[in-house]
A and B are shown apart, each in its own frame.
Chain A
Amino acid sequence: MVKKTEDSIMTIALPSGRLFQSTIDLLKKSGYFGLIDYNEKTDRRLVFYNQEETFQFMITKPKDNPTYVECGVADIGIAGKDILLEEKKDVYELLDLGLGACHIVLAASRAREDVMRDIEQRLPLKIATKYPNISRNYCIKKGINGEIITLYGSVELAPQVGLADIIVDLVSTGKTLQQNHLRVIDEITPISARLITNRISYKTRHRQVNQVVQALKKIVVQTNDT
């Protein structure tokens, strides 16, 4: 691990995949991070710098992003609220970037009333999800007698083939749900990408971290307005 002081350069962990391009666009648009030259299609580098070499960027799996930040190898990260809720990392949430906005929902193939009746009667319901912790907390809050089945993806498949009664999953347009004959029963929580930092960077580099927050805050607000 590299030693971090006020003088050494800032390290930012970026999530690969869905959020990557929009994150890069956001950083570029802010004008604060100098010249960023990275082509998602052709580049295979996991670590790169802006042209002025004032920022170091690393590309992480979205789910790993808070881990790099929590341990202090990255000063700043960008992570979906779903991951932060699920993993309970010791990180500071600084700013709602508004990227990747969607919801975590409860969805089922049966009619809403049927599912609600089952829930009220405390009938056991099998829940397929990538978010076992969020699902468990939701069940406790709503008094659902849920049995949680943790999957790694394509959760929509589970109710169709009888692995589960309902699912807890991320939904943005609702298209995947529709095509798999699922409908939203309840919206559990809204999700979007957050700017995060660890407690030590937040202290020792407060000025720099705050400048990043302010630089991004300006354009995040603008984006929301338009």
Chain B
Amino acid sequence: MMNIIRGFQDILPENMEKRRFCENRLRAVFKKWGYQEIDTPTLEYYDFLIQGIGPELRERMFKLLNADGEIIVLRPDMTTPIARIAATKLGKTGDGFHKFYYLNHVFRKVANNTEDQQEFHQAGIELLGLNNRLADAEVIAVAIQALVNAGLKNFYIDIGSARFFNSLMDQLPIIAERKKTLRKTIMNKDFVLLEKLLFRYDLSRQDRETILRLPHWRGDESVIVEAEQTFQQNNLTASLALKEVKEVYQYLRMYGLNRYAIIDLGIIRNFDYYTGIVFEGYTGYMGSAICGGGRYDHLCQKFGKDIPSTGVAIGIEKLVRVLAQENQVSKGTLNRRKYFIRYRKDLIQVAFILSEQLRNLNNIVEMELEIERPKDQAIQYSIDKKIRYLIDIQSENLDQVTRYDLETNKEEKVSYGEKN
């Protein structure tokens, strides 16, 4: 019988340790850049939250009824609740900016049968109150540093622009309804239908090629140079958007992080939601992005206040999986800060004192709880728990304590007497 709900997981210690390792490494970077942790309720009012949530995510929310018959939802992302907080609880616009980070779980119904997961852990930052390229670049830089600190080696961040894409769409000489169909087709990544539509709508050869060639605009700064030559004459907004991408890339170069960055003008994200720079990170190990984000200047406004914002979210489960494939997560060497203490039955108080003494020195110390368990079993238990040192107390005298190093299989006499 299934005893837990589909798409939700029990996480046992071994995997939990891997997840916490990642989370701690990401958190450390967020904090170093001055981002402050924020939390929001797991449950929110449906009517309120959907003001800021697009149709795709809206369908994937878990909806419930509370005792008063109101519809409530499990939060499907962290960005929307944070935008709600920014718009309703923080100072007026022009009061400077806010830097938040979060490490939390979000809930989404499975989109298809490939991904059997409905509870996701996300780490991310939001930078609210600024609309400049330095802010855009900082968010990308923090994302890169966080992934590097977690131990990820082979990854890239593709940087594009929703504004660029939107300006190309705006410029097409067709009615709004048809533009909507084109956008939807591109969002669905159906290039077969897209090509047909471009002909059916009687677009000029140049317009058709511009749209179909979008994925070709990918690489380093030379892509921008090429694109600028194409668009500076006939599309002012597009060339402004290109300047923005270039500026962000240049900041990343100054940070010394441009080796992780790739310009990709064909990037497809939710362009109804994002308004400026967009980006996503990927590795060679996975068919989908490991992190993503961008500028969403209109979201806070939907909750009552106009606050330009940008942010990134990193998928923890994906990161853990990729790190395991890259073999970056600690591979089971014994931890030299872990101790196991055996003792003769009548010396239990000596063992208590020594273990507390070792804990005070920042070690992880386990007492034998199964009194008089054979030593070989105690050793096996220790190795299973990645404990490096086993201490065996056979006398009251702490000056000459037997300590086994389970990594090297050596026995030594160590003094834990008062002089320490």
A residues within 8 Å of B by Cβ?
1, 3-5, 67, 69-73, 87-96, 194, 198-204, 206
Contacts and interface: CB of A to CB of B under 8 A. Distances in A.
Contacts of A91: 189
A4 B155 CA distance: 12
Contact of B193 (A87, A93, A204): A93
Contact of B284 (A3, A69, A93): A3
15 contacts: A67-B114, A69-B287, A72-B285, A72-B286, A87-B113, A89-B114, A90-B288, A91-B189, A94-B191, A198-B287, A199-B289, A200-B282, A200-B286, A203-B282, A204-B282
Given A5-B284, A88-B112, A200-B288, A194 B192 contact: yes
Contacts of A201: 287
A3 B285 contact: yes
Contacts of B289: 199-200
Contacts of B216: 206
The 4 closest A-B pairs by CB, nearest first: A72-B287, A92-B189, A198-B287, A93-B190
A89 B111 CA distance: 8
A70 B114 contact: yes
B297 interface: no
Interface in B164-212: 189-193
Contacts of B158: 203
Contacts of A203: 158, 215, 218, 264, 282
B287 A94 contact: no
Contacts of B215: 202-203, 206
A72 B190 CA distance: 18
Contacts of A90: 111-112, 114, 189, 288
Interface residues of B, number: 24
Contacts of B114: 67, 70-71, 89-90
A96 B284 contact: no
Given A90-B288, A206-B215, A206-B218, A199 B189 contact: yes
Contact of A88 (B111, B264, B286): B111
A93 B286 contact: no
Given A67-B114, A90-B111, 6 more contacts: A71-B287, A87-B113, A88-B111, A90-B114, A92-B189, A199-B287
A76 B307 CA distance: 42
Interface in B189-248: 189-193, 215-216, 218
A87 B112 contact: yes
A96 B191 CA distance: 9
Interface in B261-309: 264, 268, 282, 284-289
Contacts of A199: 189, 268, 287-289
B325 interface: yes
A96 B192 contact: yes
B399 to A, nearest CB: 54
B94 to A, nearest CB: 39
A200 B288 CA distance: 6
A204 B193 CA distance: 23
B294 to A, nearest CB: 16
A130 to B, nearest CB: 15
B284 A204 contact: yes
Contacts of B287: 69-73, 198-201
Nearest to A75: B287
A67 B268 CA distance: 20
A89 B114 CA distance: 8
A92 B267 CA distance: 13
B192 A94 contact: yes
B201 to A, nearest CB: 18
B218 A92 contact: no
